[in-house]
């Protein structure tokens, strides 16, 4: 049987995620929660600390305890574009192209995209925002032979929508690796962070249904409004 304070924390978390307790709303007073759950103040405070630690609520001295905005979840097991994933969770995504160049691939890019050193690739840097706040700095490489009409206007929107709807290609899968990373000065400036701040660096190679690699992308996740979700099963 789980401890009472954990059970209360889970029940309050469910209320937050189900929308019963809205973002920016004030949580009931500790005395009201004591009465609701028939427990001591010590138990309620332990429950609330769990929610604070999970960034679900924040305490403001002299004011009260408030519900935080829920982070958008990045489901690493399902291949969704940024715009689709964030929009489905009721938040507003946006993109800004920082750099758009046609160039020859370096050794790493050529290897990931199965290209020769003389093939042309696009290198695109994008700042991805959630509710107008910078959240991801993305560096994408795409083969020019697959996407000769690629443009800044297209990359200001949904890359996956362009590939599947405009080009008629079927995206099949993505191979990803996730690593801790300390921000360099340039990337930190775009993400409104300090140099050497810890973030997550996610490298991914996307493949079409016919097996061709269509993108090699490095994403730098700030994680202020994003959380990662992994589901493991025991076989």
Q: Would you list the domain boundaries of the chain?
A: 4-67, 72-229
Residue 106 near residue 139 (C-beta atoms within 8 A): no
The model carries a pTM of 0.67
- Whole-number Å distance between alpha carbons of 18 and 21: 8
- Record the tokens describing residue 118, joined without a space: 């003389």
Q: How far apart are CA 203 and CA 183, in angstroms?
A: 15
Task: Return the CATH architecture of domain 4-67.
Answer: Orthogonal Bundle (1.10)
**What does R_g of the chain's alpha carbons equal in angstroms?**
22
- Counting other chains too, the contacts that 32-40 makes at CB distance below 8 Å and 24 or more residues apart are 33/8, 37/4, 37/8, 39/4, 39/5, 39/8
Least confident of 34-38, 81-85, 198-202: 81-85
| Both structure tokens of 98 | 């920082």
- Looking at 2.130.10.10, 1.10.3720.10, 3.40.1410.10, 3.40.640.10, the CATH number of the domain 72-229 comes to 3.40.1410.10
Going 145 to 138 to 91 to 15, the CA torsion angle's sign is positive
pLDDT in tens, 39-78: 999 999 999 998 888 778 888 887 888 887 765 555 444 4
């Amino acid at each position: 049987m789980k401890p009472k304070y954990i059970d209360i924390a889970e029940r309050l978390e469910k209320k937050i995620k189900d929308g019963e307790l809205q973002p920016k709303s004030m949580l009931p007073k500790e005395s009201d929660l004591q009465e609701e759950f028939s427990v001591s103040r010590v138990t309620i405070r332990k429950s609330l600390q769990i929610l604070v630690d999970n960034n679900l609520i924040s305490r403001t001295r002299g004011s009260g305890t408030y519900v935080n905005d829920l982070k958008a979840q990045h489901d690493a097991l399902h291949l969704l574009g940024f715009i689709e994933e964030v929009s489905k969770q009721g938040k507003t995504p946006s993109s800004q192209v920082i750099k758009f160049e046609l160039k020859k691939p370096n050794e790493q890019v050529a290897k990931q995209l199965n290209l020769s050193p003389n093939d042309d690739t696009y290198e695109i840097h994008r700042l991805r925002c959630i509710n107008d706040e910078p959240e991801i700095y993305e560096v994408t490489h795409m083969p020019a032979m697959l996407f000769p009409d690629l443009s800044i206007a297209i990359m200001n929107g949904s890359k996956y929508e362009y590939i599947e709807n405009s080009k008629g290609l079927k995206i099949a899968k993505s191979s990803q690796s996730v690593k801790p990373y300390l921000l360099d000065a340039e990337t930190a400036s775009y993400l409104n962070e300090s140099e050497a701040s810890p973030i997550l660096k996610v490298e991914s190679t996307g493949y079409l249904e016919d097996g061709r690699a269509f993108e090699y992308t490095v994403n730098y996740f700030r994680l202020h409004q994003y959380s990662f979700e992994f589901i493991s099963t025991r076989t």
